[in-house]
């Protein structure tokens, strides 16, 4: 399978704590994207990091990319109950720029 792996599969934290999710992938990529999905809903695009970038910030989100290890991490700082959702990484491969390959996802639960 070309699907990426994410860990942990599930994460439970208290409001105010930081949440870190990791993503590993298998092929050379053009970019890596993170999405959020609330239960039974569509996906919301969070952030995109290109293969020549190492770190990117957007509000409370911080994404890192290590192409030598084929891995990425998403850090959510000062989490809120509203951050409760599933988070997926998705890669756009270098040799096929149309298809997004999704990771297995991390289910985040933030308790108030």
Residues of this chain that bind another protein (CB under 8 A) = 3, 30-31, 33, 35, 40-45, 48, 88, 92, 97-105, 107
Say how far apart CA 85 and CA 70 lie, in whole Å: 24
Q: How many helices (H) and strands (E) does the chain have?
A: 0, 11
Shortest Cβ 84–another protein spacing (Å): 15
111, 45 Cβ separation under 8 angstroms: no
Q: In terms of CB distance, is 62 or 107 closer to another protein?
A: 107
Q: In terms of CB distance, is 77 or 104 closer to another protein?
A: 104
8, 86 Cβ separation under 8 angstroms: no
What is the Cα Rg of the chain in Å? 13
Shortest Cβ 40–another protein spacing (Å): 7
Shortest Cβ 28–another protein spacing (Å): 15
Q: In terms of CB distance, is 61 or 100 closer to another protein?
A: 100
């Amino acid at each position: 399978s070309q699907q990426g792996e994410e860990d942990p599969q599930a994460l439970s934290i208290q409001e105010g704590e930081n949440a870190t999710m990791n993503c590993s992938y298998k092929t050379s990529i053009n970019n890596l994207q993170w999405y959020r999905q609330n239960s039974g809903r569509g996906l919301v695009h969070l952030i995109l990091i290109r293969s020549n970038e190492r770190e990117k910030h957007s509000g409370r989100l911080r994404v890192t990319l290590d192409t030598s290890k084929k891995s990425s991490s998403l850090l959510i700082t000062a989490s809120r109950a509203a951050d409760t959702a599933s988070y997926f990484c998705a890669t756009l491969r270098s040799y096929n720029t149309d298809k997004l390959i999704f990771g297995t996802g991390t289910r985040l639960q933030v308790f108030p």
